[in-house]
Amino acid sequence: MKTLLLKDNEQDILKAAEILKNGGLVGMPTETVYGLGANALNPQAVAKIFKAKGRPMDNPLIVHISCFEDIEKFNLVSEIPDKAKILAENFWPGPITVILKKGSLVPDEVSAGLDTVAIRYPNHKTANKLIKMAELPIAAPSANLSGSPSPTTAQHVINDLNGRIDAVIDGGICDVGLESTVITLAQDPPKLLRPGGITLEMLESVIGKVLVDNAVLNKLEDNAKPASPGMKYKHYSPKANVIILKANDEDFVDFINCNKSEEIAAICYDEDTAKLNVKKYSLGKKEDLEKHAHNLFEILREIDLNKTIKTVYSRCPETKGVGMAVYNRLIRAAGFEVKNLEKS
Ligand code: AMP
Ligand code: MG
């Protein structure tokens, strides 16, 4: 199959909408990462997403809508709790996915057999236009091959999925750069299943107590069943061995410099770059957590392009604010390997 590279204009978005209506797959920009969209109400179209990505069938998809009313219009859920309305009023359109009890029209392929469905209204004008033009809810996971970092540019999508999908719309670089926050309202108190651009602190400020699923910050036991199936898969892992260094500013730099080698690189902050003698990739200024989120996947992909690097030592993000999302992704890239230099 030839993958069309579409532009971010009316005519091309219409072409993409036709592809979706006909059961095809379209890579679409959103403010989080690029999504791989298909008609969420068509089981055959949804099955193609799993095939193109090599995604395990037990990992459910997020259904994207272009206004709150779409939830009722397409019968996506069986009930809308008040907290869902509050989250929507405060954070939609935006980088947050809400899990609700599933409606009868949502195919099992979308929810991977669960009795819940994940819904998001993205804050991206191209994605919204595409969903409106297709007149459908759009199931879309991240548009990467399963196991590689989520794509934040159309080129990343092409690198992974060229020839496996019908089209991708080039809408430039994604703003947030990390996947959406996922929260389930199928239980009360609600539970954060995946941290993202909408932080735990922001959620609690509008709906009160929110639990944090154990898999967000910790490694699951081998046989444990996570609330969000995606959490059990090894994610975002470059070929080089990533090790998180828990250390103060000075020790981080000293540790890396005394291991100096062509095969070693650092994921660091702007403040570290002049001091490090190895190849380095900066997440941004130390305090700029949004920037860290924005840069992380691009850095992981860049590291994969460098064949010499065997080991990458990374700064250890704090788990406050958006830092929780950065930590959650980085700890998976590191296969949960943390070296603690603070213990002495
Ligand atoms: P992706 O679209 O690749 O960012 O992955 C979507 C994430 O949402 C995965 O981690 C899924 O496991 C999670 N997810 C989707 N639907 C549900 C659901 N019904 N219940 C729990 N987690 C879900
Ligand atoms: Mg993904």
Strand blocks (E) in the chain:
4-6, 26-28, 35-39, 62-64, 96-101, 116-120, 138-139, 167-169, 181-184, 191-194, 211-212, 241-246, 264-268, 279-282, 311-315, 338-340
The pLDDT, as a whole number, for residue 177 is 87
The pLDDT, as a whole number, for residue 234 is 61
**Does residue 111's CB lie within 6 angstroms of at least one atom of ligand 1?**
yes
The pLDDT, as a whole number, for residue 74 is 96
**Does residue 76's CB lie within 6 angstroms of at least one atom of ligand 1?**
no
Query: Which residue owns the Cα nearest ligand 1 atom 1?
Result: 141
The pLDDT, as a whole number, for residue 102 is 97
Best mutation site among 182, 194, 225, 235 for ligand 1 pocket (most ligand atoms within 8 Å of CB): 182
Dihedral in degrees, nearest 10, Cα atoms 75, 137, 182, 143: 150
Query: Which residue owns the Cα nearest ligand 1 atom 5?
Result: 141
Closest ligand, as measured to the CA of 180: 1
**Does residue 142's CB lie within 6 angstroms of at least one atom of ligand 1?**
yes
User: What is the spatial distance between Cα 74 and Cα 48, in angstroms, rounded to a whole number?
Assistant: 21
User: What is the spatial distance between Cα 43 and Cα 40, in angstroms, rounded to a whole number?
Assistant: 7
Closest among 215, 216, 217 to 225, alpha carbons compared:
215
Cβ neighbours of residue 155 closer than 8 Å, sequence gap 6 or more: none
Contact 166, 141 (CB under 8 A): no
Separation of CA 317 and ligand 2 centre (Å): 21
CB atoms within 10 A of CB 22: 11
Instruction: List the shell of residues around ion ligand 2, using CB closer than 5 Å.
Output: 142
Q: From first to last of its 344 residues, what are the pLDDT tens digits of the chain?
A: 999 999 999 999 999 999 999 999 999 999 999 999 999 999 999 999 999 999 999 999 999 999 999 999 999 999 999 999 999 999 999 999 999 999 999 999 999 999 999 999 999 999 999 999 999 999 999 999 998 888 999 999 999 999 999 999 999 999 988 999 999 999 999 999 999 999 999 999 999 999 999 999 988 887 777 788 777 666 677 889 999 999 999 999 999 999 878 899 999 999 999 999 999 999 999 999 999 999 998 999 899 999 999 999 999 999 999 999 999 999 999 989 999 998 65
User: What is the spatial distance between Cα 97 and Cα 88, in angstroms, rounded to a whole number?
Assistant: 10
Separation of CA 147 and ligand 2 centre (Å): 8
Query: What is the Cβ-side half-sphere exposure of residue 236, based on CA atoms within 13 angstroms?
Result: 28
The pLDDT, as a whole number, for residue 230 is 75
Three-state DSSP state, 301: helix
Closest ligand, as measured to the CA of 147: 2
Separation of CA 119 and ligand 2 centre (Å): 15
Separation of CA 315 and ligand 2 centre (Å): 23
The pLDDT, as a whole number, for residue 220 is 82
User: What is the spatial distance between Cα 328 and Cα 339, in angstroms, rounded to a whole number?
Assistant: 16
Three-state DSSP state, 263: coil
